Chains A and B, each alone.
Chain A
Amino acid sequence: MPSWQNFQPFLVIGLALGGVYALSGVGMVVLYRATGVLNLSFGAVGAMGALIAWQAINSWGLPQGIAWLICVAFAAVLTTLYGLVFGAALAKRDPVVKAVATLGLALILLGVMDLLWTTSGGASRSLTLPTDSSGFQISSLTVDWTQVISLGLGVALTFFTAIFLRVTRLGTAMRAMANDREITAMLGVPVTRVLAAAWFGCGVLAGVAGLLLADLVALDATTLTFLVISSLAAALIGQLRSIAVTFIAAIVIGVVDSMITPINSITNYRDMTPFVLAVIALLVLSGRSTVSLERGGI
């Protein structure tokens, strides 16, 4: 067992990763509350954006800033298009159906990424952000700015979203739609525009999270696509409702995952952290059984 001194770097690393999980988790929860869609293609969209950014920097020779903008713009546009077309087509269906549909989008993107960015010949791509190389010291620890930004963005987003939903008109409209879409429409709220805004916001977050995760974790299509499961676990612990709980859960998942790494007896099971925490939380929090009034399933 390492000493507390040796655990500290893992704490910092875990906080940074947790911050990005929070970014994704909060994004998914807000979208779910506004549209009823749990966007499981969040990771895939971000991954493709990151790969396009890589392409822009390494093959097309564009400056980094432009590449990042392309990434975020791509993610935002793709997500909004999906939301407007398939979100509308599936609006009246069960949440399961809407979530499985986003899995369809994720599969399409995965296939496209595997086709366009092959990994033959030992090729490995990496995306580094300029904030990687500068940092500061806390006691014996080196903390780089990317990690600070990741955690900072996660915190900022949580606060901003909470305030946004409560204070602004658009936010209130989103909360109203989560409650009851029909009545909201009758009250004269421009439903399509609110939906589009929610999807657009989710897409922007997917792009940003994609860039950060590509830097913090790896620029690999499959890894980034399925990394969404960690954020999903956080969102589940928040019961797809509470942004604050999602944030805390995301941080905890990131930290626990990281802190387990140096413990050799269980280190290979650390990838189970999001799953175990989510299942425990769900079992504890889910409470009474519910009987649905509508036709279930597909």
Chain B
Amino acid sequence: MATTEVQAPEAPGDGALQRQALRLRQLDTRARVRAVVVVVLLAFCLFPMPSILSLYYVGAMTQVTVYAIVALGLGVLVGRVGLVSLGQAAVLAMGAWVAARVLFATSLPYPLVLLIAGLVTMVLGTLVGLPALRMRGLYLALITLMLAGAISVVLATTNFPNGGGGFLGYNGNAVHTPPIRRPGIANSDPAFLRYSIVVAILMFLFVVWHLRTRPGRAWAAIRQSEASAVAAGINIVRYKLWAFALASFVTGVAGGLLAGADRYLYSIDFQTQDSITLLAVVLMGGIYSIWGAVIAALLLQLLPQLLNSWGVSPYWLTVLFGVGVLQVLTTAPAGIVDQMPRDLARLGRLLARPFRQAHPTGPAGGAQ
């Protein structure tokens, strides 16, 4: 923060008040600037970007959008409530399954299908969370790992719906698999990217709304100290379930988007390792900020496509994510979204030092 001129106080405390008011106005300005930047970025992503990018990267950015929503859900669970889930890939699979089944079986409008996918996944996710919430954090993480494994085994046998009949909707004899349909207004790849971005914005707003109101405060209290939260009259089980429900809902909606993005779904894409990699990138992106979810999705879906187009082996990413997990857990719990600006600022100060030393600016100098 820059130092400011302070006029001679007329009464004790006035100067402090004035300084405080000034600081608040500066915060306001910073928040306003940030808001403008966000809106401009989103407008760019929504309007020109899908038309500029090649279809290769349009596809990659659609995946980024879908997984940003998933990362958002997981980030809320881990960062805001302190519940580690090692099974979000299975939850995503559930959402995709429900969406695919409904899309093939009915001709309901796409937004309704997304809602259905989200709600069903929410119910299933909450059911899973219900018994597990009685246990300590480590057991919860391990149960989610176990359940994710169980679901991937079931999926390998039931497969994803592909236009067949019956409850499972899987036709094993199909020689021409029909693609999953997309919304009428968003059939082309760039149009679907825009559609996904809109849905993502809605999901982000939905989550932010939760964080700013009562559940968000309750979660913060629970994460700080469960005992104090109980003492303050917060129903821990209810709020933990609420967190599970929220995370499952947004992940279910993301699953619905994934069904439309991929158009063909395969059980091999939702393995245990995918849940673990998801947690790794969410940690690396930053669990205490919703923008960390975007960074996590970029790491998970854009980076591999970049490496693919450069001919670099994708296995390097597995190593990177492992190193990232260790780094985040030992030294930088707030992840890249927090570390990067600070590192950049430090780099900036480092680079500016020779200039500052050449032109010292008064008694305060540049010291901060």
Whether the complex brings A and B within 8 Å at their CB atoms is answered: yes
Which residues does A use to contact B, with CB under 8 Å? 38, 86, 89-90, 93-97, 99-101, 103-112, 114-115, 222, 226, 229, 232-233, 236, 240, 268-269, 271-272, 274-276, 278-279, 282-283, 286-298
A residues near B313, Cβ cutoff 8 Å: 115
Q: How far is the CB of A291 from chain B (nearest CB, A)?
A: 5
* From A89, A97, A110, A275, contact of B318 by CB (8 A): A110
Closest-CB distance, B179 to chain A (whole angstroms): 27
Please state if A97 and B329 are interface contacts (CB–CB under 8 Å).
yes
With a CB–CB cut-off of 8 A, which chain B residues contact A94?
A: 137-138
A269-B154 in contact (CB<8A): yes
Q: Is the CB of B82 within 8 A of A293?
A: no
| Option from B136, B319, B322 in Cβ contact (under 8 Å) with A292 | B136
CA–CA, A89 and B319, complex, Å: 20
User: Within residues 153 to 174 of chain B, which ones have a CB less than 8 A from any CB in chain A?
Assistant: 153-154, 156-157
Q: Which residues of A contact B323 (CB under 8 A)?
A: 104, 108
A96 to B140, CA, bound (A): 9
The list of the 5 closest CB pairs from A to B, nearest first, reads A297-B82, A107-B322, A104-B325, A111-B318, A108-B322
CA distance A266 to B272 in the complex (A): 21
Assess the A236–B330 pair: CB atoms within 8 A: no
Question: Residue of A at shortest CB range from B237?
Answer: A289
Q: How far is the CB of B205 from chain A (nearest CB, A)?
A: 24
Q: Contact at A103–B318, with CB atoms within 8 Å?
A: no
| Contact partners of A274 in chain B: CB under 8 A | 146, 149
The answer to whether B139 touches A282, judged by C-beta atoms less than 8 angstroms apart, is yes
Q: Say whether B153 contacts A272, CB under 8 Å.
A: yes
Question: What distance in Å separates the Cβ of A158 from its nearest Cβ neighbour in chain B?
Answer: 21
- Selected from B147, B150, B324, B333, the residue in CB contact (under 8 A) with A298 is B333
Nearest B residue (CB) for A235: B142
Asked if B135 contacts A286 (CB within 8 A), the reply is yes
> Are the C-beta atoms of B315 and A115 separated by less than 8 Å?
yes
Query: Interface residue count for B (Cβ, 8 Å)?
Result: 59
Most buried by B among A105, A276, A279: A279
Q: Give residues 286-332 of B contacting A (CB, 8 Å).
A: 287, 313, 315-326, 329-330
Contacting pair B78 A298 (CB below 8 A): yes
B102 lies within 8 A of chain A by Cβ = no
Per the bound structure, the CA–CA distance linking A294 and B224 in Å amounts to: 8
Contact, CB under 8 Å: B326 / A297: no
With an 8 A cutoff between CB atoms, is B91 at the interface? no
CB of A64, distance to nearest CB on chain B (Å):
29
> B226 in the interface, Cβ–Cβ < 8 Å?
yes
Q: Are A226 and B146 in contact (CB under 8 A)?
A: no
List the B side residues contacting A104 at CB < 8 Å. 280, 321-326, 329
Q: State in angstroms the CA–CA spacing of A165 and B318 once bound together.
A: 37
A35 to chain B, nearest CB (A): 13
Question: Which DSSP category, helix, strand, loop or mixed, fits chain A's interface?
Answer: helix
Question: Bound complex: CA of A109 vs CA of B323, how far in Å?
Answer: 10
- CB distance B276 to A103 under 8 Å? yes
B146, B273, B280, B323 — which one has the most chain A CB atoms within 10 A of its CB? B146
Q: Note all chain B residues with C-beta closer than 8 A to A226.
A: 272-273
A sample of 7 cross-chain residue pairs with beta-carbon separation below 8 angstroms, ordered by A number, consists of A90-B330, A96-B138, A100-B84, A104-B324, A286-B135, A288-B134, A296-B226
Task: Pick the residue among A89, A103, A272 that contacts B330 (CB under 8 A).
Answer: A89
CA distance A108 to B283 in the complex (A): 15
Chain B 231-253 interface 0/1 with A at a Cβ cutoff of 8 Å (1 = within): 00000110000000000000000
Cβ–Cβ contact A295 & B139, under 8 A = no
CB distance from B88 to the nearest CB of A (A): 14
CA gap between A107 and B327 in the complex, in Å: 13
Cβ–Cβ contact A96 & B154, under 8 A = no
Contact, CB under 8 Å: A293 / B225:
yes
A293 to B283, CA, bound (A): 24
**Which residues of B sit under 8 angstroms from A95, Cβ to Cβ?**
136-138
Contacts of B230 in A (CB 8 A): 291
B330-358 contact mask (Cβ, 8 Å, vs A): 1 or 0? 10010000000000000000000000000
Bound form: Cα–Cα A276–B319 in Å: 31
Interface residues of B in 262-283 (CB under 8 A from A): 272-273, 276-277, 279-280, 283
Q: When A86-B330, A226-B273 are in contact, do A236 and B315 touch as well, CB less than 8 Å?
A: no
Is B273 a contact of A222 with CB atoms below 8 Å? yes
- Residues on A with C-beta less than 8 A from B333 are 298
- CB distance B326 to A275 under 8 Å? no
Given contacts A101-B325, A291-B236, 6 further A-B contacts (CB under 8 A): A94-B138, A104-B322, A105-B326, A106-B276, A288-B134, A293-B226
B189 → chain A closest CB, angstroms = 30
The answer, yes or no, to whether B197 is at the interface (CB within 8 Å) is no
Residue of A nearest to B329 (CB): A101
Which residues of B lie under 8 Å from residue A232 when comparing CB positions? 142, 145
A282–B143 CB distance below 8 A: yes
The residue that A105 contacts in the complex, of B154, B277, B322, with Cβ under 8 A, is B322
Assembled-state Cα–Cα distance A120/B317 (Å)? 19
Instruction: Indicate if the CB atoms of B322 and A106 lie closer than 8 Å.
Output: yes
Contacts of A105 on B, CB cut-off 8 Å?
A: 322, 326
Residues of chain B lying within 8 A (CB to CB) of residue A291: 226-227, 230, 236
